Structure 1
Amino acid sequence: MFIPLHDTNPLKRIDYQYVTVAIIVLNVAIYVIFQTGWIIPLDNENAAAFAVVPAELFAPSPESRPFFATGALPVPERFTLISYMFLHGSWIHLLGNMLFLWVFGDNVEDAMGHIRFIMFYLMCGIFAAVLHSWMLPQSDLPLIGASGAVAGIIAAYLILHPKVKVWVLALWRIPLKITASWALGIWILAQFGNLLIDSEENVAWWAHIGGLAAGAVLILFMRRRGVPLFDKTRGGA
């Protein structure tokens, strides 16, 4: 598996990736303030109230949700389709998602503009959670993390800039400069492979695939007019 470090793909239409940076700052701030226990500790029970739980998402009535009986925060299930994207299970989980977002999010934001990029990010995350819940309707494991939304960005970037060179770490230690089609293509294939191999529900492979599908479709309609698909340029210096 590759860990992305940097792409040689300068911005063309926006001055700075303000939304990408804001999403990263918000994710890190929420983790530090609420999930580390350093400032305002959020116990596991209340953290789960902001997560998507497939068995509860399509519950017929509020009374059927366990957190009403246990005293946890009464968070509406529909709201969790957004709130779950901003919670993470560990520093590794958080840093992995934010690294992918930092490397690839700026150029997707550049292709759409700031407002459309916000909508794109949230829509990818929402569809990722819905597909995960639809495929695992009986699961009571909470779904958290930005992986679904980030998967949408990965799909969009691959469709926009498959030839751009990307610096990655292979096997956590070997720096390589390869095209985005190789780096992201292998990541995408790994998601489908893991779905077939890993029958456990600890990793939300269906959420990743849902985000990929949403990103691949939405980029076709949400990119700015004149932004080409499958750009053949290899990026800047």
Structure 2
Amino acid sequence: MIIPIHDDNPTQTISWATMSLIIINVTIFIYELSLGSGLDMFIKEYAMTPYLIVQFPSISTYLTLITSIFLHGGWIHVIGNMLYLWIFGNNIEDVLGHGKFLVFYFLCGLGGAIGHIIFNPTSTIPSLGASGAIAGVLAAYLILYPLATIDVAIPIFIFIKIIRLPAIIVIGFWFFLQLTSGYAAITTPVMQSSGGVAWFAHIGGFMTGLLLILIFPKKRNPRVRHRKDRY
């Protein structure tokens, strides 16, 4: 397991959209915690349930494709997603510009939701989280900055080792895990019948990001920068 903690690739602009998304996600999660016994009803209303999308299509069920992107199931879920968004999202926003980055982010989130629905059309388990959108951001980073240096933490028993790896290794390994886990999810009976991680939301968001970053107009040409480039 490797955990990205920092990239040596500073931006030229302030990442207003990325920071706003993080603030909104954390604020909504704190609101979720305040709901107490009303949380289950809140999740049922605003999370995305594949079965309802497929069998009862309506404006309200379609809206959950967007609202579910802002919901999270626990501290580890929200912190992990926001960490990835902070590390990788600012560079994609820097290249696309604030507005196009937001459009890109939500389209990747939709791509992730559709991927999850395709492989789980009868699931009645509410799906939530920004993972599909962030997977698209990772895909864009992989295309634009494959050789950018990423500091990663590797837990070794009770110790944590920090090493530096190129983005192509960090993100490539992450996507490999999604593919193998997704395959296991559809071939292992126990995993098929249980809830858990929506692997195909990650895969769907990633593939959407790969496609969109190739066709989205860029505000500036991507170039890996290092701290010394600022001076």
TM-score normalised by length of structure 2: 0.88
SS at match of 2:121: coil
Sequence identity (%): 37
State the distance in 2 between where 1:155 and 1:127 align: 13
46 and 223 in structure 1: CA distance in 2 versus 1, 3 angstrom threshold = same
Q: Which residue of 2 aligns with 1:36?
A: 33
Listed one character per residue, the Cα deviations across residues 70-107 of structure 1 (whole Å, up to 9, x for unaligned) are xxxxx800100100000000000000000000000000
Q: Which residue of 1 aligns with 2:146?
A: 162
225 and 29 in structure 1: CA distance in 2 versus 1, 3 angstrom threshold = closer
TM-score normalised by length of structure 1: 0.86
Q: Which residue of 1 aligns with 2:94?
A: 110
SS at match of 1:131: helix
Q: Quick one: which of 44, 63, 73 aligns to 1:48?
A: 44
SS at match of 1:58: helix
SS at match of 1:217: helix
State the distance in 2 between where 1:226 and 1:114 align: 12
State the distance in 1 between where 2:2 and 2:217 align: 27
Q: Which residue of 2 aligns with 1:212?
A: 206
State the distance in 1 between where 2:66 and 2:161 align: 36
State the distance in 2 between where 1:213 and 1:42 align: 35
Aligned residue identity for 2:10: P
Listed one character per residue, the Cα deviations across residues 184-222 of structure 1 (whole Å, up to 9, x for unaligned) are 110011100111224424110010000000000000111
State the distance in 1 between where 2:62 and 2:118 align: 14
SS at match of 1:227: coil
How far 1:127 moved relative to its partner? 1.2
Q: Which residue of 1 aligns with 2:53?
A: 57
Aligned residue identity for 2:201: A
More helix by share: 2
Aligned residue identity for 1:36: L
Q: Which residue of 2 aligns with 1:19?
A: 17
Moved more, 164-173 or 83-92: 164-173
- Structure 1 segments, 4+ long, off by >6 Å, are none
Q: Structure 1: 5+ residue runs without aligned partners? A: 63-74
State the distance in 2 between where 1:143 and 1:60 align: 16
Aligned residue identity for 1:3: I
State the distance in 1 between where 2:101 and 2:176 align: 25
How many residues of Structure 1 are paired with residues of Structure 2 in the alignment?
A: 218
Aligned residue identity for 1:8: D
Q: Which residue of 1 aligns with 2:161?
A: 174
CA RMSD of aligned residues (A): 1.9
Aligned residue identity for 1:57: I
Listed one character per residue, the Cα deviations across residues 96-129 of structure 1 (whole Å, up to 9, x for unaligned) are 0000000000000011000000000000001110
Aligned residue identity for 2:142: L
State the distance in 1 between where 2:37 and 2:92 align: 34
Aligned residue identity for 1:50: Y
State the distance in 2 between where 1:49 and 1:168 align: 37
Q: Quick one: which of 122, 125, 136 aligns to 2:109?
A: 125
Q: Which residue of 1 aligns with 2:218?
A: 224
Q: Which residue of 2 aligns with 1:142?
A: 126
Q: Structure 2: 5+ residue runs without aligned partners? A: none
Q: Which residue of 1 aligns with 2:8?
A: 8
